[in-house]
Amino acid sequence: MNDASRPTAPPPPRTRNKPRAWLQARPALAIDALPPALAALEPTAVHVVYADATPACDALFWQSAARLLRARTTVLSPREPAGIADMLRAHGLDIERSRTLHPRANVCTLRGVPGRSGIAVLTEALQAMVDQCGAQGSQFLVEGAQAYFRWDDPVALADDGELLARWCRSNSCGVLLVMAPPGGTETLQLASLAGFHRHFAGVARLAQQHGHFVWEVGFWRHKDAILPPEMVPLRFSPVDRGLVAGSGADEAIAPGEAPTLLAPDEDRFIVSRAAVLRERWIPAHWQVVDDNAAAVAAAAGAVAATVVLHYGQIAELETLAGQVHQLRHDGGKALKIVVREDHEILRQRYELLMLTLGASLVIHRNTPFARVQTMIEAIQGQVFSRPILPDYKNALSAVVATAATGYVPPADFVSLVRTTLERSSVIRLPHVLLELPLLPEVAHVDALRACQMQDAGDLCTAGSNAVYAFFFACRMENVETACRHVFVRPMSELFGGELRCGDPESILGSLKRLESDLAQRPVQDYSGWLASQPGPSPVAAPAELPPQDAPIPLPATSRARRGRRAQPQAFAIPLKPQR
């Protein structure tokens, strides 16, 4: 029989088998170089990311949304529709263009309903997207989800989490919640919300520590394993301003590529006009504003930008100190704050004040502009390492010396020096105390008469067998110069040696020895005798340190205490005879 005439069985019907779950591409967070196990989002499960309203939070949510909307994904946000479109467009996805979204992708505005349970509103909205838009089995991204949970009741909060996790399993949907917890992420303890998290597949926190953004994983489920807690530093790509994981992200950069950024605004420069008023040219990308106050206002919300402030004279010091502290307190440790001198030079203690309050750099007067640009470029990528002070007035009062100058009685000397040390400890202002034992043939009054102190805060007194000299805001290497200006006679003619104390511990130790000496051998007060002698008196006017809440007096100018500079003397210059 011919084989062609044999009856043949019909082919079996073809069935389209559903792909296995482990072969399907899983949605993932948009953090480049993050380990895949920490970036993957488990299907039919809830993931939570705690993040404040920062550029890092926007980059995480909207970069992830821009990537996932090319698949079956639904994005829910409390923003207006135009704002949602703008954020997606800023992160590389223009939803107004055709064929940019997946046919089953959805973008919606979600708001709470007054008087109704937040979790009920959220789950009803998710169910409506499944029923009406065919979103079953897709991934949901929810921004600002903190409004839909009962944070004030731990038991109710745990019930809300269980209800949401049950909904995800019954509808085969995954949900990513990005929300700011009450009180902010800085004080959030993930372990305190264990009841809320027990039905979730992953919990992480996006926070800023020491000027850097970090990805702190509480736990993260990957397939059949649960990954332990981990902390990953984050930076920003200079190309698309997306997040990049790893502190060594710059090591893999090819030659010619820009390094990663601490924040998307790290290449932004805000400059006070007075700081560059004398320059003939400034970079085109620098944002020049009217004055220091306008620069502070323009830097509101900045994270890693560079702000250049102007310093002209001592009368501006208190205002400038407040502006520097406000910038550092509000902007964080990644903000770069530069103070540029113009007319007057910041004295050493005032420069230390600016650096303590938050300035990253103080540029001295008459620095060439090319050098200025080099110094500003050198601090890019750095963070402020000092602690941020809660109040700038305490630090400002530390650099203001007591009005007393010259000789004071021993008891007043001990009290004033101790109070000065306490106040100046805020900014670690250096001081020097000299203990000068007298030669046998030198009287106390002769040594005190030879000590003509001029600077505010410089004090001297007498013990039973020594003279004590305190130099305010002076370093050990400058003591010899200070002594040459203070003593009108060679010190070798008055004293048999000297003991220098340049740190608070040694200064306090010397004061204790002085108190012990005075308790055994009291010393008379030489104020009346020194004031009655002809010539300039070394006796200090009665003064005390002002209280904490008193206005802080500052000198009118840095030259006020030195007196007016003498006019040049006119004299004849012989000229060569003309031929």
User: Along the 579 residues of the chain, how does pLDDT read in single tens digits?
Assistant: 344 444 445 554 444 444 344 344 578 899 998 999 999 999 889 999 999 998 899 999 999 999 999 888 999 999 999 999 999 999 989 888 888 888 888 999 998 888 888 899 999 999 999 888 877 888 999 999 999 999 999 999 999 999 999 999 999 999 999 999 888 888 888 888 999 999 999 999 998 887 788 999 999 998 888 888 888 988 888 888 888 887 655 554 555 566 788 888 888 999 999 999 999 999 999 999 999 999 999 999 888 999 999 999 989 999 999 999 999 999 888 999 999 999 888 888 899 999 999 999 999 999 999 999 999 999 998 889 888 888 888 888 888 887 788 999 999 999 999 999 998 888 889 999 999 999 999 999 999 999 999 888 899 999 999 999 999 999 999 999 999 999 999 999 999 999 999 999 999 999 999 999 999 998 888 888 887 765 554 555 454 445 544 555 555 544 444 444 455 555 444 444 554
User: What would the pLDDT profile of 276-324 be if each residue is shown by its tens digit?
Assistant: 999 999 999 999 999 999 999 999 988 899 999 999 998 999 999 999 9
Domain match, 118 and 162 both: yes
Specify the DSSP element, H or E, that contains 23. Answer: none
Domain membership flag for residue 3 = no
Domain match, 238 and 337 both: no
The CATH number of the domain holding residue 299 is 3.40.50.2300
Domain match, 236 and 302 both: no
Q: Which of 330, 365, 395 is the last residue of a domain?
A: 395
Under 8 Å between Cβ of 543 and 402: yes
Domain membership flag for residue 256 = no
Domain match, 123 and 221 both: yes
Domain membership flag for residue 37 = yes
Beta-carbon contacts of residue 291 (< 8 Å; ≥ 6 apart):
272, 273, 274, 310
Domain match, 332 and 461 both: no
| Residue 407 CA, distance from chain mean position | 43
Domain match, 322 and 278 both: yes
Whether the pTM exceeds 0.85: the reply is no
Rounded to whole angstroms, how far apart are CA atoms 455 and 110? 66
Domain match, 362 and 462 both: no
Rounded to whole angstroms, how far apart are CA atoms 480 and 461? 19
Q: Which residue in 472, 349, 352, 351 sits closest to 403, CA to CA?
A: 472
Domain match, 502 and 414 both: yes
Domain match, 239 and 307 both: no
Under 8 Å between Cβ of 426 and 395: yes
Rounded to whole angstroms, how far apart are CA atoms 517 and 523? 9
Under 8 Å between Cβ of 107 and 75: yes
Domain match, 527 and 479 both: yes
**270: buried, middle or exposed (CB in 10 Å: 19+, 13-18, 0-12)?**
buried
Q: Which of 336, 366, 395 is the last residue of a domain?
A: 395
CA distances from 30 to 19, 137, 382 (A): 25, 21, 25
Beta-carbon contacts of residue 275 (< 8 Å; ≥ 6 apart):
308, 309, 310, 340, 342
Domain around 309: 269-395
Tokens 């970069």 map to which residue? 63
CA distances from 95 to 43, 419, 420 (A): 25, 65, 64
Rounded to whole angstroms, how far apart are CA atoms 322 and 513? 39
pLDDT at 23: 40
Domain membership flag for residue 345 = yes
Domain match, 200 and 69 both: yes
551-559: long-range contacts, CB 8 A cutoff, minimum separation 24: 552/318, 552/393, 552/396, 552/397, 552/400, 553/400, 553/403, 554/314, 554/315, 554/317, 554/318, 554/400, 555/314, 555/456, 556/314, 556/315, 557/313, 557/314, 557/344, 558/314, 558/344, 558/345, 558/347
Domain match, 443 and 377 both: no
pLDDT at 196: 93
